[in-house]
Amino acid sequence: MLTKSEVQKIANLARIEITDAEAEKYSKELSGILDFVEKLNEVDTDGIEPIAHITGAKNIICEDKVIEYNGETKENIISNFPEKKDRFDKVKAVF
């Protein structure tokens, strides 16, 4: 059973603010799901490689070429910024 403080730690890692009541609720729900997935431990996986890609594709490469987008697409990207200054995405100081 996940404790409330463990749930708070997970929420912190996931960058989600949660209330005490939510921590309580998530501790029950997440524990229920974790109990359910515990059944995977019944499966013998000795010597089995974890799968990397389901259809076996590997080393897919593409030409290293810049694709120029038109002005309209650029403006559409910029207009989706939550906050902007001129044509820059405005963010709070990182440090």
Partner 1 sequence: MIRDLHEKLINQEITSEKLTEDYFATIEKKDPEIEAYLSLNKEFALAKAATVDKKIASGEEVDLLAGIPCSVKDNICIEGLPATAASKVLENYIAPYDATVISKLKACDSVFLGKTNLDEFAMGASTENSAYQTTKNPHDISRVPGGTSGGAAASVAADECVWALGSDTGGSVRQPSSFCGVVGFKPTYGAVSRYGLIAMASSFDQIGPAAKSVEDAAIVFSRISGRDRFDSTTMPMADKNYENLLGGADLSQLKIGVPKEFFAAEGLDKKVEEKTKNAIAKYEKLGAKIVDISLKNFDYALATYYVIMPCEVSSNMARFDGIRFGKSVGAESEKAGTDYTLWDIYFKTRAKYIGPEVKRRIMLGTYALSAGYYDQYYKKAQKVRALIKKEFEEAFKKVDVILGPTSPTPAFKIGEKTENPLEMYLADIYTVTANIAGIPAISIPCGAVEIDGKNLPVGLQLMGKWFDEETVLSAAHVFENS
Positions that interact with partner 1 (CB under 8 A): 2, 7, 10-11, 13-18, 26, 29-30, 32-34, 36-43, 45, 48-51, 53-55, 57, 60, 62-63, 69, 73, 76-77, 79-83, 89, 91-94
Determine the distance from the C-alpha atom of residue 67 to the mean position of all C-alpha atoms in its chain, rounded to a whole number: 27
CB of 46 to partner 1, least distance (A): 9
Pairing mode, strands 88-89 and 84-85? antiparallel
**How many Cβ atoms sit within 10 Å of the Cβ of residue 26?**
19
Three-class SS state of 84: strand
CB of 40 to partner 1, least distance (A): 5
